[in-house]
Amino acid sequence: MRFRGRNKRPSAEEVAKRLLALKYVVGYAMITPPRDVLMQWFENWDESERIKFEHDAQVMRDKYWERLRALRLWSVLSPQEREFATTTMLTMTHQEQLNAMWRIEAVQVLMWALGLVPSLPPYDTQASLDLLKEIPSEEIGEFVKSVRLLPNVEIDQARDLAELWHWRSRTRQLIEEGRTFDPDPKMKAAGLETFDDIVRFTANRCKEEGLLDVIDEDFAVHGKAYRDLTPEEWSVVRSITVERHFALNWLCGYAPNNRWDETPTDT
């Protein structure tokens, strides 16, 4: 799918500030204990211990986000991120924590676009949380002013590849749901009668163009065809794909007025 009405792309300064905001969003999820572990602790405490923990969690939250305010970056947070920042270790939901943790993939994309990492890894390789350590916490002003974005053509190519991988994920979802493909006469004449036929055709074309590695006429992932991924493997690859597609679409100006939360990921 080609988006229309693209906005002006975010500047290098805007990308750098968004990266810094994401550092704090992901970091907040990282320092919060897993929901199941925390609930086990909470259930074993008496009332006074629970009240103290609730208070301490609020103090910790306020202290954590005060650092972002001190850097004058609070306004960079999106509405959803500000809502996330109101949660404590106790009130944060599992889904909120998971969503924030997966933003490390967006962090990696923005770092790549700013030339802070040399390349984006394959789509079956998760971003390391250690990336956060490479984002400065001091002399923020100098950092924001000094960074430069890669050429638009390189970012566009990465975006197109992310959209392709996202398309493959959604195609598998349609197959998993038992959806049927309704080809027109021309497609039938070309031998394209099922979703898998479309996948094989697309994979072979991509192989010819050197866009990706192919196994058994399908996208190569973990050394096997995409269709052969286990549900667990597919879940991880799909999450990587969605986050990269999201961040790259934002970089390319597809979000209305560059509003992060509203970035589309249609395929």
Helices (H), the chain: 12-30, 35-44, 47-70, 79-84, 94-102, 104-113, 140-146, 152-176, 185-189, 195-208, 231-251
8 Å CB contact between 109 and 120: yes
- Supply the DSSP string of 75-108, one letter for each residue: GGS-HHHHHHTT--TTT--HHHHHHHHHTHHHHH
pLDDT tens figures, 130-158: 999 999 988 899 999 999 999 999 999 99
Please state the domain extents for the chain.
12-146, 152-262
Nearest in space to 234 (alpha carbons), one of 171, 163, 150: 171
8 Å CB contact between 195 and 174: yes
What lies within 8 Å, CB to CB, of 162 at 6+ separation is: 241, 244, 245, 248
- What pLDDT does residue 4 have? 47
Tens of pLDDT, residue by residue, the chain (267 residues): 444 446 799 999 999 999 999 999 999 999 999 888 888 888 889 999 989 989 999 999 999 999 999 999 999 999 999 999 999 999 999 999 999 999 999 999 999 999 999 999 999 999 999 999 999 988 899 999 999 999 999 999 999 999 999 999 999 999 999 998 888 899 889 899 999 999 999 999 999 999 999 999 999 999 999 999 999 999 999 999 999 999 999 999 999 999 999 999 998
pLDDT tens figures, 207-230: 999 999 999 999 999 999 999 999
